[in-house]
Amino acid sequence: MTTETDNDTGTDSVPVHEEVRARRFWAVRRIPAALVALLVLGGAGLLLYDVAAVRADHRAMHWRQVLADDLATRHLDNTWVLAGASVAVVLGAWLLLLASTPGLRAVLPMRRDHADVRAGLDRDAAAMILRDRVMEVSGVQSARVRMGRKKVAVRAVSHFRELDEVRADIASVVTTGIDELGLARPPAPTVRVARPPRKG
């Protein structure tokens, strides 16, 4: 479970009387930010050094001369120009996607009972809790639970009892379990029950 506080005053939080919207947790994304910062810093530093060298009556670096000549002579429909532009567009779209999406899909936001406290539950942990509940249903031999942000898929194998009865019991148990998890947006359960495969 992940928890955050909106302030560090150390005082007890006051219960909220009105419903507070639970937002998704945003990923820090340190690695992409560090890579972009290093690339920009390295490129800007190298370019600044070369410009300063030219201003001091030194020759420009070979790579900048070649780049300037290529940009002056190559047409816009050249393969290398189109390939470089495509790479730049893909990288830009990737960075925009990272900046506009919260990430941390594995953390489900929980209901906010206090205004200055946010909590989240790991999806795998939530699925394990629901699976343990399903395994307690009479007639269930095995079960798999896939926890999503909007849906919970439960697949169970029942070796005795009527399948409709087992399915109804599982649906009731899963619905109760989802409510007890305290999620801000409870996912809708889907239950499938089958017989074990025959041997031989």
Backbone angles phi, psi at 143, to 5 degrees: -155, 150
- Bridge partners of residue 5, in order along the sequence: 117
pLDDT tens for the 200 residues of the chain, in order: 665 555 444 444 444 444 556 677 777 777 877 888 899 899 899 989 888 888 888 888 888 888 778 878 888 888 888 898 999 999 889 888 877 777 777 888 888 877 777 788 899 999 999 999 999 999 999 999 999 889 999 999 999 899 999 999 999 999 999 999 989 889 999 999 999 988 75
The Cα 63–Cα 70 span in angstroms is: 10
Category of 60 on φ-ψ map: left (φ > 0), alpha (ψ -120 to 50) or beta? beta
CA angle 22–27–29, rounded 5-degree value = 165
- Bridge partners of residue 120, in order along the sequence: 2, 109
Does pTM top 0.85 for this prediction? no
Predicted local distance difference test score (pLDDT) of residue 187: 93
Side chain identity at residue 139, one-letter code: G
SS3 118: strand
- Cβ partners under 8 Å of residue 113, min gap 6: 15, 16
SS3 192: strand
Predicted local distance difference test score (pLDDT) of residue 70: 81
